Structure 1
Amino acid sequence: MKTSIRLVTMAVMAMAVVFEAVAQIGAESEDQAVWRRMEAACYGNLACMRSRVREVSPPPWRRGWTDPDELFRVLQRTGRFRELGLKDEEGLVLVREVLARIPSKTARGPGAGGSEGQPLLQGMAFQEPDFPYRAPAEFEPVKAVLLRWPFDWKAMQWAWAQMVETFGKNGVRTAVWVNTPHQRDEAAQVLQDMNISTAHVRWVVEPTDTVWIRDYGPQVIRALDGPAWGVVDFHYYDGRRKDDNTPLVVAWGMQVPLVDRQKTNVVYTEGGNLNHDGLGCVVYSQRTYKKNPGIDPQEIDRRIRSAFQAVKSLVPRDPRLDGTGHVDMFMKIVGPNTVLVGRYGPDQVDADVLEACAALFAHETNGAGQPWRVVRIVQPDVYYTQFVIPVVRTYTNSLIVNNAVIVPVYGIAEDEEAVAVYRELFPDKTIVPLNAQEIIPSGGAWHCVTMEMATAEP
């Protein structure tokens, strides 16, 4: 009974924080305030910073930065160590210590194929689609959404429950991944304790490694004519084989065709770095080229376009401080020829990157040759956790689910402006602000932990 009361209380308090903080001009999140105070207390003192880092647990399932030398170079160029009162060599020591504390499963980088990266279901036979197809856009009608339940991140379960409830209210079936029947029963109990119906929920007992199902989940393709659909499978982290296996589990379980980019025409990419207009244009950031070393960028473009039978690709630069490089952290296609692009203040490190992204779309066309309408949305200032890990907050990391749009908010003044943009873009939809203060230091928000399926029958 105490657990039930605590879960409900957490949900109510978390949502209250959003709307109370919106009214406070210049408000900052609790996490941001904590680290700002620590920076002031430890200014110029490496030993103090290292001590504070050791006292604080890193965010669960953090993704993004894993290479200390790469992060060091970025922070060196952007002047972060000067802000901390540290010499560059001291900054490198701090960066290495912080990243060394990331659990090994999340720290392993991508491979470019090979035996280590092959999926666990490699012996199964899959057919390629025998019909012309396209990748549906996220703003199209959705039949199902996939979630991986945060059984290993209990503080976030209230948020997953809120999303499950929103899906049910909007005619969306929900496939919830768990590793064991016991975890399924625990998750169902959480939803029951919060009075959330599970009539629309299908439980999938299948092992995964992390909650970031957007990145490793199935990329749905659908026939140009008719109900046929299939799945595209790109290569994912070598250190997360169970995650990488998920598209095959879906294709095998639903008996649909599979476009395999694990064995031939191999491409390493992540779902958060793929966005479609539904008309044959696919968007991904230049980070994709770095993740596929030794392959000519034009060949990478060809492999990605061919996987989706896309007619063109747009490849904006990715922000320097964002460790994921994913386009869903700074832009989102919200209509056939409408794109939402973040905007930083002029003094922010990556302001020029977001301006370049907006300019790229302003001078380009969608998959049907129509000019883009570019809509801008505020991008809150980056702050740092553990002194050197950039926390990139974004309002484009949203999820469109039929008559609702789930928008991440952070309990800061910019929330109100961002929600207003969504209300203008989607006047006939319900905008659902969902507090992302706790998840965003791990490198993502609500788009990152969900995967919509435009055609799947769960």
Structure 2
Amino acid sequence: MKMTQDTTAKATRRLPAEWEPQSFLQLTFPHANSDWEYMLDEATRCFVDIIDAARPYQQVLVVCDDIKRVRSFFNDTENLCFTEAPLNDTWARDHGGITVLEAGKAIVQDYIFNGWGNKFEAGLDNQITSQLFNQRLLQNCSLESFDFVLEGGSIESDGKGTILTTSDCLLEKNRNPHYSKQEIENILLTNFGAERVLWLDNGYLAGDDTDSHIDTLARLCNEDTIAYVGCNHPEDEHYDALQKMKLELQQLQKADGTPYRLVELPFPDACFDSEGNRLPATYANFTIINKAVLVPVYGVSQDEDAVEILASCFPERKIIPVNCRVLIEQHGSLHCVTMQYPEAVKLKS
């Protein structure tokens, strides 16, 4: 773990924390011409469950291939907004816009999404944010585009100048090969108006395509608390890396020099696909929305404990478990398929 500061960062710009008031949640709906084709019915049910869990609390923007088809999965359209766009896949956290606030105004930042280091085709998904602006769906905000690869799942913000990330992802050679670590850090500091970047050098999940996104491993629950994936079974392949990550987290300090409150999440029983490959189940991939937290569960014995632990982290929010076993078949989970927009951004009525 290394922590550095840059006093040149824009003092008026900041990246809101996920727990701040939101306007809407974006999801990109599964379709047949994607990797979900062989299990489309199961994936569809999961996405409907997520959307139905979220929409009592705020609007949900559903990006899809066919509005008529997707609308048919819902009994009503209260708090739902549908739009069509050409799509590759469904991972809105990584192809969605990242919204910053500057002098009270919202700026939706559009970074390059290249399929997690050119692992998968992502050219269509990379255009979704600009298409939302072309359709004039996003109101009360401006668009800022960058020739830089960055996925929303790779960063966490406390809303007050701290960015938490992983070196395995941001320094991966197929993302921004011409930038040094210091140059990448300076981009984060400047673009997000941050004061410091906290880097984790350890931690991974078998079956993960993202090169250790922070949202699969360690999450800020508030400016004082980090919930992280623990592994206390020496025989498990994750044991060494996650124990080292735990030690790194214990060394982190808040901006005032005091340690974070660390909350360990259980490690789910191993889940495998039909070919015996281990899948990246994680309880850290929860999504914070207005007055609630959507928590992925997987039909394993640790689900109940994970829900109770996260309830202690969010005592003023309703904890809503959503079965996301199908999502890990494509190597992501609940937070990976959602992207929140702060209350300053409005959806066209």
CA distance in 2, matches of 1:335, 1:155: 33
Match of 2:16 among 136, 144, 147: 136
1:351 aligns with: 239
Match of 1:206 among 85, 96, 108: 85
Q: Kindly indicate whether the alpha-carbon contact (under 8 Å) linking 1:348 and 1:381 is maintained by their aligned counterparts in 2.
A: no
Match of 2:177 among 282, 293, 304: 293
1:176 aligns with: 62
Q: For structure 1, which segment, 208-217 or 376-385, has the greater mean C-alpha deviation from structure 2 after superposition?
A: 376-385
1:146 aligns with: 26
Whichever residue aligns with residue 249 of structure 1, its letter is Q
1:391-437 CA distances to partner (integer Å, 9 max, x unpaired)?
A: 12100111111121111111111111111101212223221111111
Do the aligned partners of residues 351 and 260 (structure 1) sit closer, same or farther apart at CA in structure 2, a change above 3 Å counting? Answer: same
1:72-100 CA distances to partner (integer Å, 9 max, x unpaired)?
A: xxxxxxxxxxxxxxxxxxxxxxxxxxxxx
Whichever residue aligns with residue 181 of structure 2, its letter is P
User: What is the CA-CA distance between 1:374 and the residue it aligns to?
Assistant: 1.0
CA distance in 1, matches of 2:239, 2:181: 25
Match of 1:373 among 261, 266, 286: 261
User: What is the CA-CA distance between 1:151 and the residue it aligns to?
Assistant: 3.0
User: What is the CA-CA distance between 1:175 and the residue it aligns to?
Assistant: 0.7
Do the aligned partners of residues 154 and 351 (structure 1) sit closer, same or farther apart at CA in structure 2, a change above 3 Å counting? Answer: same
Do the aligned partners of residues 367 and 232 (structure 1) sit closer, same or farther apart at CA in structure 2, a change above 3 Å counting? Answer: farther
Do the aligned partners of residues 168 and 320 (structure 1) sit closer, same or farther apart at CA in structure 2, a change above 3 Å counting? Answer: closer
Whichever residue aligns with residue 192 of structure 2, its letter is F
Q: Kindly indicate whether the alpha-carbon contact (under 8 Å) linking 2:99 and 2:106 is maintained by their aligned counterparts in 1.
A: yes
Matches within 5 A, 1:8-19: none
1:313-361 CA distances to partner (integer Å, 9 max, x unpaired)?
A: 1121241633322111111111112110110123222223223333323
2:4 aligns with: none
Do the aligned partners of residues 298 and 381 (structure 1) sit closer, same or farther apart at CA in structure 2, a change above 3 Å counting? Answer: farther
Whichever residue aligns with residue 185 of structure 1, its letter is K
- State the SS of the aligned residue for 2:336: coil
Percent of residue pairs bearing the same amino acid type: 24
**Does 1:235 find its partner at 2:124?**
no
1:129-185 CA distances to partner (integer Å, 9 max, x unpaired)?
A: x99221111111221000112233332222222222222211x11111012xxx211
Q: For structure 1, which segment, 426-435 or 139-148, has the greater mean C-alpha deviation from structure 2 after superposition?
A: 426-435
User: What is the CA-CA distance between 1:445 and the residue it aligns to?
Assistant: 1.0
**Does 1:307 find its partner at 2:191?**
yes
CA distance in 1, matches of 2:23, 2:222: 18
C-alpha RMSD of matched pairs (Å):
2.2
CA distance in 2, matches of 1:368, 1:259: 32
1:41-73 CA distances to partner (integer Å, 9 max, x unpaired)?
A: xxxxxxxxxxxxxxxxxxxxxxxxxxxxxxxxx
Q: Kindly indicate whether the alpha-carbon contact (under 8 Å) linking 1:218 and 1:250 is maintained by their aligned counterparts in 2.
A: no
Do the aligned partners of residues 369 and 222 (structure 1) sit closer, same or farther apart at CA in structure 2, a change above 3 Å counting? Answer: farther
CA distance in 2, matches of 1:156, 1:323: 18
For structure 1, the 5+ residue unaligned runs are 1-129
Q: Kindly indicate whether the alpha-carbon contact (under 8 Å) linking 2:269 and 2:301 is maintained by their aligned counterparts in 1.
A: no
2:72 aligns with: 189
- State the SS of the aligned residue for 2:278: strand
CA distance in 1, matches of 2:302, 2:294: 16
Do the aligned partners of residues 298 and 389 (structure 1) sit closer, same or farther apart at CA in structure 2, a change above 3 Å counting? Answer: farther
Whichever residue aligns with residue 246 of structure 1, its letter is I
CA distance in 2, matches of 1:222, 1:370: 27
Q: For structure 1, which segment, 380-389 or 317-326, has the greater mean C-alpha deviation from structure 2 after superposition?
A: 380-389
Q: Kindly indicate whether the alpha-carbon contact (under 8 Å) linking 2:156 and 2:220 is maintained by their aligned counterparts in 1.
A: yes
CA distance in 1, matches of 2:87, 2:333: 19
- State the SS of the aligned residue for 2:315: coil
1:247 aligns with: 129
- State the SS of the aligned residue for 1:143: strand
1:104 aligns with: none
Q: Kindly indicate whether the alpha-carbon contact (under 8 Å) linking 1:230 and 1:251 is maintained by their aligned counterparts in 2.
A: no
User: What is the CA-CA distance between 1:367 and the residue it aligns to?
Assistant: 4.9
Match of 1:440 among 328, 335, 339: 328
Q: Kindly indicate whether the alpha-carbon contact (under 8 Å) linking 1:213 and 1:451 is maintained by their aligned counterparts in 2.
A: yes
1:258 aligns with: 143
1:9-59 CA distances to partner (integer Å, 9 max, x unpaired)?
A: xxxxxxxxxxxxxxxxxxxxxxxxxxxxxxxxxxxxxxxxxxxxxxxxxxx
CA distance in 2, matches of 1:353, 1:187: 41
Whichever residue aligns with residue 314 of structure 1, its letter is L
- State the SS of the aligned residue for 2:107: strand
Whichever residue aligns with residue 81 of structure 2, its letter is R
Do the aligned partners of residues 387 and 162 (structure 1) sit closer, same or farther apart at CA in structure 2, a change above 3 Å counting? Answer: closer
1:452 aligns with: 340
Do the aligned partners of residues 422 and 251 (structure 1) sit closer, same or farther apart at CA in structure 2, a change above 3 Å counting? Answer: same
User: What is the CA-CA distance between 1:236 and the residue it aligns to?
Assistant: 1.2
Whichever residue aligns with residue 211 of structure 1, its letter is T
Do the aligned partners of residues 206 and 369 (structure 1) sit closer, same or farther apart at CA in structure 2, a change above 3 Å counting? Answer: farther
User: What is the CA-CA distance between 1:304 and the residue it aligns to?
Assistant: 2.2
Whichever residue aligns with residue 202 of structure 1, its letter is C
Q: How many residues align?
A: 315
- State the SS of the aligned residue for 2:191: helix
2:37 aligns with: none
1:341 aligns with: 228
Q: Which has the larger radius of gyration?
A: 1
Question: What is the TM-score when the length of structure 2 is the normalising length?
Answer: 0.83
- State the SS of the aligned residue for 2:88: coil
Q: Kindly indicate whether the alpha-carbon contact (under 8 Å) linking 1:259 and 1:307 is maintained by their aligned counterparts in 2.
A: no
CA distance in 2, matches of 1:356, 1:278: 27
Question: What is the TM-score when the length of structure 1 is the normalising length?
Answer: 0.65
- State the SS of the aligned residue for 1:448: helix
Q: For structure 1, which segment, 313-322 or 409-418, has the greater mean C-alpha deviation from structure 2 after superposition?
A: 313-322
1:277 aligns with: 158
Q: Kindly indicate whether the alpha-carbon contact (under 8 Å) linking 2:22 and 2:290 is maintained by their aligned counterparts in 1.
A: yes
